[in-house]
C-alpha cells in the first residue's frame, strides 16, 4: 500500500512558468513533509519542508502549500528555470523519526528555455 502518492509523473514547463507538483498521504501520523530535488547521478537534496502547523512555507522561488484536512501538499516553483530541470520527490515522516521517510514516486520536471 503506497502511503504517499505523487503526481504528475512528468512535467514540462516553459521558462518563467509555474511548476506545480502534488502529493497526497494516508498516514495521519506523518507530521513532516519535505521535498527533495535530485539531479542525475546525485543523491536527493533537501529543497524545502513543512510541518502541519502552517499551511504554506516559501523559500525563494519554492513554495509548499499544505492542506491538513485533505491530507495533501504541493510544491510550487515560480519563475521556473532550465536549471530547475530535475526529479522532485515528496516525502512524509514523523518529526521524531525524520530519517525514516516514505517517498512519492517522483516527478521529472523539464523546463524548456
Partner 1 sequence: SAVISQKPSRDICQRGTSLTIQCQVDSQVTMMFWYRQQPGQSLTLIATANQGSEATYESGFVIDKFPISRPNLTFSTLTVSNMSPEDSSIYLCSVEAGTAPYEQYFGPGTRLTVT
Binding site for partner 1 (CB under 8 A): 32, 34, 36, 41-46, 49, 51, 89, 91, 93, 95-96, 98-101, 103-106
Contact between 108 and 12 under an 8 Å Cβ cutoff? The reply is no
From the CB of 27, what's the least distance to partner 1, in Å?
Answer: 14
Residue closer to partner 1 (CB basis): 10 or 14: 10
Sign of the torsion angle spanned by Cα atoms 11, 55, 73, 60: positive
Compute the distance between CA of residue 64 and CA of residue 34 in angstroms, rounded to an integer: 9
Nearer to partner 1, 32 or 72 (CB): 32
Q: Which is nearer to partner 1, 14 or 97 (CB)?
A: 97
Integer Cα distance of 70 and 18 in angstroms: 23
Nearest approach, Cβ of 15 to partner 1 (angstroms)?
25
CB of 75 to partner 1, least distance (A): 16
CA 19/CA 58 separation, integer angstroms? 14
Amino acid at each position: 500500500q503506497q502511503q504517499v502518492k505523487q503526481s504528475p509523473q512528468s512535467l514540462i514547463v516553459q521558462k518563467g512558468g509555474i511548476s506545480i507538483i502534488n502529493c497526497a498521504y494516508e498516514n495521519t501520523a506523518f507530521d513532516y513533509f519535505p521535498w527533495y530535488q535530485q539531479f542525475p547521478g546525485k543523491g536527493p537534496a533537501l529543497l524545502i519542508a513543512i510541518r502541519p502547523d502552517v499551511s504554506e512555507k516559501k523559500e525563494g522561488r519554492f513554495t509548499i502549500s499544505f492542506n491538513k484536512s485533505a491530507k495533501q501538499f504541493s510544491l510550487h516553483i515560480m519563475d521556473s528555470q532550465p536549471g530547475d530541470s530535475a526529479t522532485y520527490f515528496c516525502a512524509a515522516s514523523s518529526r521524531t523519526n525524520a530519517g525514516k521517510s516514505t517517498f512519492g514516486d517522483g516527478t521529472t520536471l523539464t523546463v524548456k528555455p
